[in-house]
Amino acid sequence: MYIQKILIAVSFVAAFAACNHEAEKGKFVLKGELKNMDDQQVYLEQLFLNGQDPQVLDTSDVKAGQFNIGSVASEQGLYRIRFEKMNSGFIFINDQSAINFKADIKDVSLEGPDFNSPANLALKKLLLNIEKMRLTQEATGKAMDSLRLAKAPDSIIVVQSMKLQELTNGFSKFITSYIDTVSHPAVAMFALGYTKGIDPAILNTIIPNMATRFPGNAGVAGLVAQFNNMIAEMNKAQSPAATGAPGVGSEAPDFTMNDSTGKPFKLSSLRGKYVLVDFWASWCGPCRQENPNVVAAYTQFKNKNFTVLGVSLDESKEKWLKAVGKDQLNWMHVSDLKGWENATVGLYGYDGIPYNVLIDPKGKIIATSLRESALQATLAKVLQ
């Protein structure tokens, strides 16, 4: 997440509903077989991803662990069965006209309940994979926290931090690839809920491609339209005309600033190389979380006519240089130690960090805001 002077949160995932009941309708029935369930009522609810409260579509009685419940829908959507005496429920997709559901109420783990239809099996497998990756990330994060508490050497902490970043990048690659290949539209839309924090540039091909993969699906069409509108608004807001900032294709504004030794350093002295100008600060949490990714990119491409120039929005030289050493940022660094009054803020028109621009050997900006896997992917393409 960016640290901004004014934080504006945009969430396109929460902008569409699961399905439209006003179109041509198709009946579906869920037959339940439950163990250790007392007799009670069961409710069938339609779930929406736009913040709208669940809508109850049908009710039935559970007797001796058996029930039948159903409704009508024009296409695949997201539904939940909720029980009168339970606080939680079970989510499923209406991909078949008849779906059998089996569960033991004493086992509500992801592995336990079973909706025996293709889309629901795919959804269950997805959730199990996500949970496995989440637990691995959580364990790695806890290990890094333990190292910090034990005041382990910075080099060991950096290695652990890079491992955590690799896991984060790995999840991003997994979820985006999954969305682009899964054959069930409702599962693909459900998976989009796990893309928060992923650079929209990475999704800019995947989401529009869903309209081609699932033609005629109203939920997908609404999602793609919402995403395209979001991208258009972002591009409009970030365009040079709107912000006065240099955009892709513009010449990178030159500037001179003191390096870590107090000597003046000029951006244009790096002409002839591809340069990632990285705007950050020691006090910026998201910047420090992104640093291992920048380190990995620098290590991979530094021998391919590529370098990084770090521009710090710090006010304390001591804290700035300590962070440079701790995060092992082994490239040129400059700062005027004026915080948000840094001269580059006006020159490049950014209002949040981390932020970066990629400059070609002629001094032209060829990309901006490269984060997570988008950074390596862009460099691999440009420096092939």
Task: Check if the beta carbon of residue 199 is closer than 8 Å to that of residue 371.
Answer: yes
What domains are defined for the chain? 14-109 (2.60.40), 120-238 (no CATH), 256-382 (3.40.30.10)
Backbone angle region of 212, left / alpha / beta, with phi > 0 → left and psi within -120 to 50 → alpha: alpha
Q: Specify the pLDDT at position 240.
A: 52
Q: Specify the pLDDT at position 226.
A: 81
pTM: 0.61
For helices 373-382 and 154-181, give the axis angle rounded to 10 degrees: 80
Q: Tokens for 357?
A: 């621009």
Give Cα 256 distance to the centre of its chain. Answer: 35
Q: Specify the pLDDT at position 5.
A: 27
One digit per residue, the tens of pLDDT, for the chain of length 384 reads 222 322 222 233 333 333 333 333 589 999 999 999 999 999 999 988 666 789 999 999 999 999 999 999 988 889 999 999 887 789 999 999 999 999 998 887 788 889 999 999 999 999 999 999 999 989 988 888 888 888 888 778 778 878 887 888 889 889 999 999 999 999 999 998 888 777 777 788 888 889 999 998 888 888 888 888 877 776 665 555 555 568 888 899 999 999 999 999 999 999 999 999 999 999 988 899 899 989 989 988 999 999 999 999 999 999 999 999 999 999 999 999 999 999 999 899 888 899 999 999 999 999 998 888 788 888 988 987
Q: Specify the pLDDT at position 160.
A: 81
Kindly give the pairing relationship between strand 264-266 and strand 256-258: antiparallel
Task: Check if the beta carbon of residue 243 is closer than 8 Å to that of residue 253.
Answer: no
How far is 146 from 203, CA to CA, in rounded Å? 35
Q: Specify the pLDDT at position 7.
A: 23
